[in-house]
Amino acid sequence: MMAPERMQSYREMAKKVRAHCLRMTHRGKSGHVGSMLSMADLLAVLYLGILRVNPKQPRWPDRDRFVLSKGHGGAAVYAVLAETGFFPKEWLDTYYLDNGKLSGHISHHVPGVEFSTGSLGHGLPVAVGMALAARQAGKKHRVFCLLSDGDCNEGSTWEAIAFAAQHHFDNLTVIVDYNRVQALGKMEDVIEMEPFARKLEDFRWAVQEIDGHDYVQIETALNHLPFVPGKPSWLLARTTKGKGVSWMENTVACHYGAVNDEQLAKALKELEVEQ
């Protein structure tokens, strides 16, 4: 059984991350908040329960590598890094602003960020290279890469998928924030990936499909890596875009739209965050 306190800490962290993302995108009048809310639970479990990282030593050589390929959701990672002590929380107030510390897409100039992305399809090849180097050097750290649905449209992602399987990189785990809503439409109307799990199995990855908002399922899956020795692991985490804010959930509009003053107050109230 999962310790109730740990479950509670995930819930609290995810709530803080969601609140930060709403405030940051509101202040910056910037987009992608739906993508951030979608992966908040995954990030909470990763940073509190799974990743071996050290906020006092962000470049600790034996750290697990976490590459966010969906760089447009970077504010959610900034939020979890600030909450876990990688940099002062005040930096979050400067997101997207002139002379700000934090850019709209994730940047390696920020402590705790492994790699900068923003254009989709870049994260996985780089993560594969990191897994290659770790294995060649006999290192025990692991490499994680978080992808979006849009990432899985990119040919470069599939090139890397094929290569990672060919070389049996079982130190590599992909997590897909599978919310099924892209920039211009829902996946079934853009590029349908189903049967998604079977595609990856055919590409010789070990696949698990879970509810990406269920802390027990997320933690259990990520505590049993690799899923199959000798294969890279693919965690298809079914999520809801805009999760936690009723009028955003499962909408295409929340990919770009930020909240106004009134909506911010309403959204924070729905999340049960003190204002």
Partner 1 sequence: MRKVFNTELLSIAQRDPRIFMILADIGYGEIEPFAQAFPDRYFNCGVAEQAMTGIACGVAMEGNIAITYSIANFPTLRCLEQIRNDVCYHNANVKIVIIGGGMAYGPLGISHHSTEDLAIMRALPNLVVVAPCDFAEARAAVHAMIAHEGPVYYRCGYKKEPAVHDGPIDFRFGKALTVRDGRDATIIFTGTIGYNCKLAAEQLAADGVQCRLISLHTVKPIDKDAILHAAKETGAIVTVEEHNAMGGMGGAVAEVLMDAGGLGVRTRRLALPDVNVCKVGSQDWLREQYGLGVPHIVKAVKELLAG
Q: How far is the CB of 263 from partner 1 (least distance, A)?
A: 33
Q: How far is the CB of 174 from partner 1 (least distance, A)?
A: 14
Q: How far is the CB of 59 from partner 1 (least distance, A)?
A: 11
**Which chain residues interact with partner 1 by CB under 8 A?**
108, 115-119, 121-122, 124-134, 136-137, 155-156, 159-160, 162-163, 167
Q: Among residues 149 and 154, whose Cβ is nearest to partner 1?
A: 154
Question: What is the CA angle 109-233-254, rounded to 5?
Answer: 55
Q: Among residues 6 and 105, whose Cβ is nearest to partner 1?
A: 105
Q: How far is the CB of 113 from partner 1 (least distance, A)?
A: 11
Q: Which amino acid is present at 71?
A: G
User: Contact, 145 vs 205, CB < 8 A?
Assistant: no
Q: Among residues 152 and 264, whose Cβ is nearest to partner 1?
A: 152
Write the DSSP assignment of 129-159 as a string of letters. Answer: HHHHHHHHTT----EEEEEETGGGG-HHHHH
Distance, in Å, from the CA atom of 256 to the CA atom of 236, rounded to the nearest integer, reads 24
Q: Among residues 143 and 221, whose Cβ is nearest to partner 1?
A: 143
Q: How far is the CB of 141 from partner 1 (least distance, A)?
A: 10
Q: Among residues 115 and 215, whose Cβ is nearest to partner 1?
A: 115
* Chain CA centroid to CA 160, Å: 18
Neighbour tally for 191: CB within 10 Å: 12
Distance, in Å, from the CA atom of 238 to the CA atom of 235, rounded to the nearest integer, reads 9
